[in-house]
Amino acid sequence: MGRTETLKSRLDAKGAKWMTWRDREVVADFGDPAREYEAVRGGGLGLVDRSGRDTLVLAGEDAVSWLQGLVTSDLRELVREGSGQLTSAVNLVGRLIAEARVLHMPEMLVLDLEPGVLADGFLSHLKRHLITEDVQILDRSAQTSRLGIFGERAAAFLQKHCTLAHPMGSRAMFEGTWGSLGDHDIVVQRVPTTGGPGYEIACATEEVADIWDLLMATAELTPVGFETLETLRIEAGIPRFGVELTEERIPLEANLDHAISFTKGCYLGQEIIARLDTRGTPARLLRTLVFEGGAAPEVGAEVEVEGAKNAVGEVVSSVWSPRLNTSIALAYIKRKYNEIGDEVRVETRKAIVQPLGYPLDSTRDSV
């Protein structure tokens, strides 16, 4: 894990309350989740410790062509240094092994993954498929720390306080750049985590506490914890590996079409993905469920429909949505029952099926 004791003391000084997620220690909140939420959605800026994430570096003459055969996206689109994309890796039957943000850096590809993905099998999966290719696979998780900045003014903030190779406002989703903050080298990548402007700063682990201090010294940022970030993410309908994205899921079910190329040619699991795409709608889809008040449903709760003998879906994440002032959930729901506007029941309560990101899209003009 790329978090130092010095950074941990900085977080503690801000009132950090700790929890464990995927065997990593994360800050649950800083004592006032409502304030943290407002910092991101209300025109301010939130600063999040993201140091638990995995970082993988691929270098060598064959790195791109080799990885091209193991992921669903088309890496040939990453022509320019600073270009980036979302990708996924699947097994022979099309089930997810990993999801990663890829960034083309000078002479290397950098993959940013959820905590523990490398140790849980993705690193060994990659190494099994390396034969004679000129590829160096480097797990840099312990040497890399990450901090996230989220909010409407995030790009302007970074442009003001950092020296960067590319203007932040010109970066498309998953694109990045590199430069410095003070005397510290940084890499910045645009990410969709909250459904609004967001960027993650990667730096050397031993420098992260100093970078935290420099960022907080601007007096423009509010520390934000894991639980608020999850609320923001679920409102935005951004699936997360280890939560909505698991080894039993197929990327198409989770609306990861933007992480799949249907024209790139062969890759591991491609035949199953192509067959599902040709057939049309997958057997189930990830949807947002909107309830009429009440507490958020339990993860694992069954989604039911009147007249159906068995459950037609399952809740995989849920929160109270400040944006809608009601509880919402993300759920996988079977075909025939997942049309937008359909009525379902969870824990005896009515819910309406909506697209991913509905809490933001339905209120964007009124906020």
Q: Annotated binding residues for substrate, as ranges? A: 200
Which pTM does this prediction carry? 0.95
Q: Decide: 289 and 110 in contact? Cβ < 8 Å.
A: no
Whether residue 319 is contained in a domain is answered as yes
pLDDT value, residue 1: 61
- Does the pLDDT value for residue 367 go beyond 50? no
- Does the pLDDT value for residue 359 go beyond 90? yes
Cβ-based neighbour number of residue 81 at 10 Å: 16
Whether residue 267 is contained in a domain is answered as no
Q: Which CATH number fits the domain that encloses residue 158? A: 3.30.1360.120
Q: Which structural domain, as residue segments, surrounds residue 106?
A: 55-139
pLDDT digits (tens, 9 = 90+) for 287-325: 999 999 899 999 999 999 999 999 999 999 999 999 999
Cβ-based neighbour number of residue 217 at 10 Å: 11
pLDDT digits (tens, 9 = 90+) for 164-192: 999 998 899 999 999 999 999 999 999 99
66 and 37 in a single domain? The answer is: no
Q: Decide: 344 and 353 in contact? Cβ < 8 Å.
A: yes
Whether residue 265 is contained in a domain is answered as no
Whether residue 200 is contained in a domain is answered as yes
pLDDT value, residue 295: 94
72 and 42 in a single domain? The answer is: no
CA pair distance 251, 245, nearest whole angstrom? 8
Whether residue 250 is contained in a domain is answered as no
CA pair distance 50, 141, nearest whole angstrom? 11
158 and 33 in a single domain? The answer is: yes
Whether residue 59 is contained in a domain is answered as yes
For 102, 278, 313, the CA distances from 201, given in Å and listed in that order, are 14, 39, 37
153 and 48 in a single domain? The answer is: yes
- Does the pLDDT value for residue 71 go beyond 50? yes
127 and 177 in a single domain? The answer is: no
Domain end residue (candidates: 208, 235, 262) = 235
Residue type, 2: G
pLDDT value, residue 363: 75
Measured at the alpha carbon of residue 105, what is the angle toward residues 100 and 107, in degrees to the nearest 5? 115
12 and 154 in a single domain? The answer is: yes
Q: Annotated binding residues, as ranges? A: 200
- Does the pLDDT value for residue 20 go beyond 70? yes
Cβ-based neighbour number of residue 130 at 10 Å: 15
Whether residue 177 is contained in a domain is answered as yes
Q: Decide: 42 and 51 in contact? Cβ < 8 Å.
A: no
Q: Bigger pLDDT: 234 or 1? A: 234
pLDDT value, residue 280: 72
Phi first, then psi, for residue 11 (nearest 5°) are -65, -40
158 and 43 in a single domain? The answer is: yes
Q: Decide: 189 and 175 in contact? Cβ < 8 Å.
A: yes
Whether residue 179 is contained in a domain is answered as yes
Q: Which CATH number fits the domain that encloses residue 93? A: 3.30.70.1400
Q: Which CATH number fits the domain that encloses residue 331? A: 2.40.30.110
43 and 183 in a single domain? The answer is: yes
218 and 146 in a single domain? The answer is: yes
pLDDT value, residue 157: 98
49 and 148 in a single domain? The answer is: yes
148 and 18 in a single domain? The answer is: yes
Domain end residue (candidates: 113, 139, 165) = 139
pLDDT value, residue 22: 87
313 and 345 in a single domain? The answer is: yes
Secondary structure class of 296 (helix, strand, coil): coil
Burial of 21 (0-12, 13-18, 19+ CB in 10 A): middle
Domain end residue (candidates: 139, 159, 178) = 139
* Total structural domains within the chain: 3
